[in-house]
Amino acid sequence: MLKGSMPALVTPFKNGEVDYDTLKSLVEWHIGEGSHGLVPVGTTGESPTLTHEEHEEVVETVVRAVAGRVPVIAGAGSNNTLEAIRFMQHAHAVGADAALVVTPYYNKPTQRGLIAHFTALHDCCELPIVIYNIPGRSAVDMSPDTMGELAKLPRIIGVKDATGDLDRVCRQRMTCGKDFIQISGEDATAHGFNAQGGKGCISVTANVAPKLCSQMQEATLMGDYGTALDIQDRLMPLHKAIFTEPGLVGAKYAMSQLGLCSEEVRSPLVGLTDETRAKVNDALRFAGLMN
């Protein structure tokens, strides 16, 4: 079962190109630090500015580097159903364990359109699907009732919920059932999400602090919410600082400070302001990750 802390992996760059050697090093580091799964080419992996070929090569590189040690949930979303089918079938062919599929952005489908889109992806191959519901980015919100209809399909197994609405967890338990895997997509509320019935977090901050994020998740899954809250208190300034500007930019800068990868991002994203860099540095020190 998918559970625990699963970093939404950044895609490292070097001189404008994907840095596959560093990507493989990050996989090893994350597994060593206790991450419970890895999620390549989501939004944090800069999927909007990767070519289709880069997208697919990143997924294959991560799957091969992981070599079955933890689950790989491959980003396979698109607002074009045929394009998403391509990503689904490729991820299945190279051995990913599941696909993360965002609700189609920009073209704003109806709830019936969402059912048609996800049903087509479900039927295109045997890969399990985790729905990614993030209305703040996609401009469409999948309702708990719609999710409940999709949960009847055998390979639609869960949701990454980035609504920030903890009430959703209980409502989705009602419509989707207790076995439907609910995973937080928002670091700052991940502690409370699990208290409501969630099983983990696909995390941006876990790119920077995988051990702490893993320990926090493990504590909640054992019911030790006091220990988990102590860890979350250490992490909260980092959650806030990383998301002062787009989260992946903050994560890459923090990682560069720890010697993990370059802070390079692709346009239209740009590097952090000096003020935000200072916030991230302060948060790294507060979390005990940097002197």
Rounded to an integer, what distance in angstroms lies between the CA atom of residue 245 and that of residue 145?
33
**What are the two backbone dihedrals, phi and then psi, of residue 192, each rounded to the nearest 5 degrees?**
-65, -30
Which residues does 69 contact at the CB level (< 8 Å), separation at least 6?
A: 31
Apex CA 161: angle with CA 216 and CA 196, to 5°? 55
What pLDDT, in 10s, does the model give residues 194-229? Answer: 999 999 999 999 999 999 999 999 999 999 999 999
Rounded to an integer, what distance in angstroms lies between the CA atom of residue 51 and that of residue 240?
30
Report which secondary-structure segment, H or E, holds 158.
strand 156-161
Q: Which of 132, 199, 252, 253 is catalytic?
A: 132
For the chain, the average pLDDT equals: 97
Q: Which of 3, 24, 106, 160 is catalytic?
A: 160
Domain ranges of the chain: 4-220
Burial class (CB in 10 A: 0-12, 13-18, 19+), 270: exposed
What pLDDT, in 10s, does the model give residues 79-98? Answer: 999 999 999 999 999 999 99
Which residues does 222 contact at the CB level (< 8 Å), separation at least 6?
A: none
- Check pLDDT > 90 for residue 121: yes
- pLDDT value of residue 289: 98
- pLDDT value of residue 1: 80
Q: How many residues does the chain have?
A: 291
132 is annotated as an active-site residue: yes
105 is annotated as an active-site residue: no
- Check pLDDT > 90 for residue 12: yes
- Check pLDDT > 90 for residue 245: yes
- pLDDT value of residue 257: 98
For the CA atoms of 162, 211, 130, 106, the dihedral, rounded to the nearest 10 degrees, stands at: 40
Fold category of 4-220 in CATH? TIM Barrel (3.20.20)
Rounded mean pLDDT, 263-270: 98
Closest CA to 97 of 70, 123, 78: 70
What pLDDT, in 10s, does the model give residues 17-76? Answer: 999 999 999 999 999 999 999 999 999 999 999 999 999 999 999 999 999 999 999 999
Per DSSP, what are the bridge partners of residue 140?
none
- pLDDT value of residue 95: 98
